[in-house]
Structure 1
């Protein structure tokens, strides 16, 4: 399948989603709006609330953009599709995605961080865990992408060994039935799932334990940035405004769009996740700073990259600047 064929298929998917949502802001305005195909990193959920709020309020349309939002899902690598030029933009779930693409020589850039704090957690059973160090020697369920990245950081901070690793594929049932275990997850998701079963859990947000990577990164193909620099800035600004409104305003319309795009999502889950985003400073940082939404600093990227080089995750010559554009917000 050629890149053009894939792009046409994605546009069809995005247009079908637009029709499903009934969102007029995804349709082109009367003037010649900039067209932009943006793919989510997963199926629609509260972690994409700012984008759907921007759709619901017509913020993209007001910014002169004709945005087609394409949902992600299992078996889809939005970052690889971005590198291949099959889409214009997508979300980098964490800072490792950016540096991995730099080492792969991909011509893409992160232009904004919609999450000032990474929402990744380790969750353990509360009755036998007071701190992360208590997890020494216990089973820890991890997703495959974390084993050669985040796990190395954890081992540098805590007395963990590779023998503790158990594979996590998104089902917390093995964790629930193993009293000594811990599991990786998002502060917006796994704790809610566990609590619905009656489990008493202890949640450790890694960003509050010293892990300083950005998350929810807005990424664009370099060719699109070169040709549509104003559109990229407008998209970032509209999305940041969407996030502020989603967190602190009326999120009902955005949540309705999310549920239409992802029928498996329910109102209770969305409400929990939205509150978790606010309570943990995921979007606005801690202390909360609404003006920080989307922003990144050279110092923070430099510190994160150097720490991961020290851990042997990246080569000494890996340059974060090759994958980051600080001038977009």
Structure 2
């Protein structure tokens, strides 16, 4: 029996044992339901979590909701957070959490510009007279842009998550989540913006990472493995299979979302290689490496966000639950590319 068949047989045997006793798990996200959460909703909708012996409740975040403190406090079991900067801060501040998987190989953070304004090249963006950037971006990746690419603070204007100022000024550039804001610009402004992913220009962080309490990893590694594996399978099925039920669940949790927006966002995730690219092509979705975490940290040190040696990188993430090619057979069966 080959390795994949042994894994499948073991999974089925375990699932049979779990049928009568599901582990209750609360998984919190960092924003309202959207396609960037699709794989997790898929694993609920198609029963993948249930088949892995998990009774999963997804607890959405939002502008008035901060789920981050709930993880170390033990009020949730897993947390979906943004990129590795949050995880570095946790280790620096001795918050007992650890990254167990990275669902996005590319951070969707992007800069958008109007078409026909000479911004087709990323290098030209630093010449824009106005850069609409939110405060958290100004104190994080904007610092990296200054050091790595020569952007200047003189262009900074606050972005308050209102597209009006950007739409009204064709010479402005603005931050955006590459699988969301471009859709809103097209809907509201009637044009397709020029989009430059920071990830394509050296911003090497993983994104949509799953964090767990360090104690959970130590005392319940089998539970963590089941949650990670089921989430990976959820993402494979969401990207390449029938996602209608997952979309319906997200619209229920976030009525502002529409089916058309969700589908447009999925198309962008595929086009940009947000989820299934890089290390995920050989290790499976969720893949991580210590070398890449180190590279990103060193970039952030150069940008002045951290001091050398300030963060113990061995505490940021564990690789024990990923890089196992989970879901790659399902992807092949679904014809995923």
The normalised TM-score by structure 1 is 0.87
- Aligned pairs (5 A) from 1:33-112: 33-112=22-101
The 8 Å contact of residues 117 and 214 in structure 1, kept in 2 or not, is answered as yes
Deviations 1:10-49 (A, max 9, x none): xxxxxxxxxxxxxxxxxxx752222211101111110010
1:13 corresponds to: none
Post-superposition shift, 1:119?
Answer: 0.9
Q: What secondary structure sits across from 2:116 in the alignment?
A: helix
1:118 to 1:66, Cα distance in 2 relative to 1, 3 A = same
The more displaced of 105-114 and 95-104 is 95-104
2:260 corresponds to: 268
Q: What secondary structure sits across from 1:226 in the alignment?
A: helix
The 8 Å contact of residues 42 and 245 in structure 2, kept in 1 or not, is answered as yes
1:296 to 1:287, Cα distance in 2 relative to 1, 3 A = closer
| Uncovered stretches (5+) of structure 1, i.e. residues with no partner | 1-28
Post-superposition shift, 1:147?
Answer: 1.4
Post-superposition shift, 1:315?
Answer: 2.0
Deviations 1:283-307 (A, max 9, x none): 1115972743011001101111112
Q: CA RMSD in A?
A: 1.7
The normalised TM-score by structure 2 is 0.85
Which of 225, 232, 238 matches 1:240?
232
The more displaced of 218-227 and 187-196 is 218-227
1:8 corresponds to: none
Residue correspondences, number: 301
Which of 178, 185, 197 matches 1:194?
185
1:323 corresponds to: 316
The 8 Å contact of residues 110 and 175 in structure 2, kept in 1 or not, is answered as yes
Q: What secondary structure sits across from 1:126 in the alignment?
A: coil
2:176 is aligned with 1:185: yes
2:121 corresponds to: 131
Post-superposition shift, 1:100?
Answer: 1.4
Q: What secondary structure sits across from 1:127 in the alignment?
A: coil
Distance (Å, rounded) in 2 between the aligned partners of 1:275 and 1:252: 14
Q: What secondary structure sits across from 1:84 in the alignment?
A: coil
- Report runs of 4+ in structure 1 exceeding 3 Å deviation: none
